[in-house]
């Protein structure tokens, strides 16, 4: 646990008592704060109270007497589509509102840093797609190269549940727009922006608000080095704002298709090869084509971003390359589940929007595409240019029939459920095909989250694999 600094003898309120809320309350108490808390769920409040927490109804003005700050969980709206009533009350009373990310950045550095041979560093990763894979890949590379490291934030461990810093450590954080939008302190040593595509627009009041939330990671305090994906206008704009001159190598530009040989420092992938350029000269190259854990152009962008971040903390190109080969990827993100009879089964359940699904579709040939769920605003018509490799679509969930109307001449069936989609795709698939789950939709019509959807797909494929093995053995 990282005790929160600057709260000794202060009364701090916590809104939301899920995993991050409880961890925040514990870290505040460890820092000497008097913690009071509230959650909208009666069962959650009762459970927290049974654990010894002080529960106060923060919907009442008298509950705010002496409260010096409110810490809210990231999932609770603080502005759009409208602030939670407790947060709105804090605004009216002039009480500062923060989240656990802001507390982490003001508490991670301690007086112990003066005794370390190497000052610990923080790498923070944000963006629309690929940030989890990029975060996990950076963490994997650091560990493979012998650097002490921890991973947390929106992936793995909550930030305040991480261990206190040790000599030479690198903490790698995945940060969502919900987390960066409100944090009052954002001071990573290296900040990474992967890309931007429309998502969570209701929460941020539109695309501009969504990008502004991401941009805060680079504008609040400013990192020593910024790794910026420049394949979208927003990334180009951000890189341009951060660089003070063409020769400014504090900005490392990253691309998954453009040759970037004129920037002061750049890392890009073209035709399966990663290249690093500094001041117009190539200084490293890596063949990404045979790295099983990083299939497709979208993962090549993740590889470039992770490579750049690791170079920014002093790792050597060949050490990074060696670590690439031992990376096995993350569950639900272009995860190769099995190969059965020459047919690959890939779980990309995390592809919940058009951009992510399009990138997954471009990564494979001869695709049998399982798609659908709870469709997002705008439908999936924009995915049409990426369907040339789709032999057939197997549509599931609430939006299956709507999706069928938007995929043009692509052969399809309304499978309805994951069980039917996997069963039919496996029967029709031929050697060389890839059965790809890339839903382009949310999961909430049939599953509590994308993880459960991916786990169901994986379990069905494992059953196919077991049946195939039995048939091969003659049992």
The string of pLDDT tens digits covering residues 35-59 is: 999 999 999 999 999 999 999 999 9
Annotated binding site for ATP: 127-133
Residue 475 lies in a domain: no
Other C-beta atoms within 10 Å of 461: how many? Answer: 21
The DSSP secondary-structure symbol of 72 reads: E
Q: Is residue 131 located within the same domain as residue 165?
A: yes
Helix axes 100-107, 19-30, angle to 10 degrees: 30
The whole domain housing 359 covers 335-468
Q: Is residue 416 located within the same domain as residue 446?
A: yes
Q: Is 283 helix (H, G, I), strand (E, B) or coil?
A: strand
Residues facing 277 on adjacent strands? 266, 282
Q: Is residue 392 located within the same domain as residue 254?
A: no
For position 130, what pLDDT does the model report?
A: 87
Higher pLDDT, 168 or 378: 168
Residue 75 lies in a domain: yes
CATH number at residue 264: 3.40.1190.10
Mean per-residue pLDDT, 398-415: 96
Residue 200 lies in a domain: yes
How confident is the model over 429-448, as pLDDT tens digits? Answer: 999 999 999 999 999 999 99
Residue 93: which pLDDT band, with cuts at 50, 70 and 90? very high
Residue 270: which pLDDT band, with cuts at 50, 70 and 90? very high
Return the ∠ at Cα 441 (arms to 440 and 446), rounded to 5°. 135
Q: Is residue 257 located within the same domain as residue 244?
A: yes
The candidate with the shortest Cα–Cα distance to 310, out of 156, 172, 119, is: 172
475 has pLDDT over 80: no
Annotated binding site: 127-133
Whole-angstrom distance, CA of residue 71 vs CA of residue 54: 15
For position 468, what pLDDT does the model report?
A: 78
Q: What is the mean pLDDT of the chain?
A: 94
CATH number at residue 386: 3.90.190.20
Residue 267 lies in a domain: yes
Q: Sheet containing 54-55: which strands, arranged edge to edge?
A: 54-55, 34-38, 11-15, 67-72, 97-98
Are 129 and 235 in contact, with CB atoms under 8 Å apart? no
Residue 142 lies in a domain: yes
Number of domains in the chain: 3
For position 335, what pLDDT does the model report?
A: 87
CATH number at residue 25: 3.40.50.720
Q: Is residue 154 located within the same domain as residue 226?
A: yes
Which of 68, 98, 128 is the C-terminal boundary of a domain? 98
Q: Is residue 318 located within the same domain as residue 416?
A: no
């Amino acid at each position: 646990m990282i005790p929160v600094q600057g709260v000794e003898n202060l009364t701090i309120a916590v809104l939301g008592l899920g995993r991050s809320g409880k961890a925040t309350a514990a870290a505040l108490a460890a820092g000497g704060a008097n913690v009071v808390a509230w959650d909208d769920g009666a069962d959650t409040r009762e459970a927290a109270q049974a654990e010894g927490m002080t529960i106060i109804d923060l919907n009442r003005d008298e509950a705010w007497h002496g409260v010096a700050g409110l810490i809210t969980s990231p999932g609770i709206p603080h502005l759009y589509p409208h602030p939670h009533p407790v947060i709105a009350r804090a605004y009216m009373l002039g009480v500062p509102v923060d989240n656990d990310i802001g507390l982490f950045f003001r508490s991670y550095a301690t007086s112990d840093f003066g005794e370390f041979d190497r000052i610990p560093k923080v790498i923070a990763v944000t963006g629309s797609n690929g940030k989890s894979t990029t975060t996990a890949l950076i963490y994997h590379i650091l560990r493979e190269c012998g650097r002490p490291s921890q991973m947390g934030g929106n992936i793995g461990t909550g930030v305040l549940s991480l261990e206190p810093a040790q000599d030479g450590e690198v903490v790698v954080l995945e940060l969502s727009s919900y987390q960066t939008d409100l944090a009052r302190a954002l001071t990573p040593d290296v900040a990474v922006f992967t890309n931007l595509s429309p998502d969570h627009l209701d929460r941020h009041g539109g695309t501009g608000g969504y990008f502004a939330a991401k941009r805060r990671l680079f504008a609040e305090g400013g990192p020593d080095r910024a790794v910026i994906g420049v394949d979208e206008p927003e990334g180009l704009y951000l890189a341009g704002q951060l660089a003070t001159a063409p020769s400014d190598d504090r900005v490392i530009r990253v691309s998954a298709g453009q040759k970037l040989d004129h920037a002061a420092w750049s890392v890009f992938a073209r035709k399966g090869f990663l290249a690093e350029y500094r001041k117009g000269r190539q200084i490293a190259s890596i063949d990404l084509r045979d790295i099983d854990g990083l299939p497709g152009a979208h993962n090549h962008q993740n590889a470039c971003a992770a490579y750049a971040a690791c170079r920014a903390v002093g790792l050597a190109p060949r050490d990074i390359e060696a670590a690439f080969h031992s990376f096995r990827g993350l569950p639900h993100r272009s995860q190769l589940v099995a190969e059965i009879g020459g047919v690959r089964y890939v779980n990309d359940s995390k592809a919940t929007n058009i951009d992510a699904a399009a990138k997954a579709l471009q990564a494979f040939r001869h695709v049998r595409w399982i798609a659908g769920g709870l469709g997002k605003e705008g439908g999936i018509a924009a995915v049409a240019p990426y369907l040339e490799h789709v032999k057939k679509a197997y549509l599931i969930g609430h939006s299956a029939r709507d999706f069928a109307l938007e995929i043009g001449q692509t052969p399809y069936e309304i499978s309805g459920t994951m069980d039917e989609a996997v069963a039919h795709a496996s029967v029709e698939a031929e050697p060389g095909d890839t059965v790809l789950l890339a839903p382009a939709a949310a999961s909430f019509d049939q599953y509590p989250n994308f993880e459960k959807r991916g786990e169901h797909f994986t379990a069905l494929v494992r059953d196919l694999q077991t049946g195939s093995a039995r048939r091969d053995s003659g049992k």
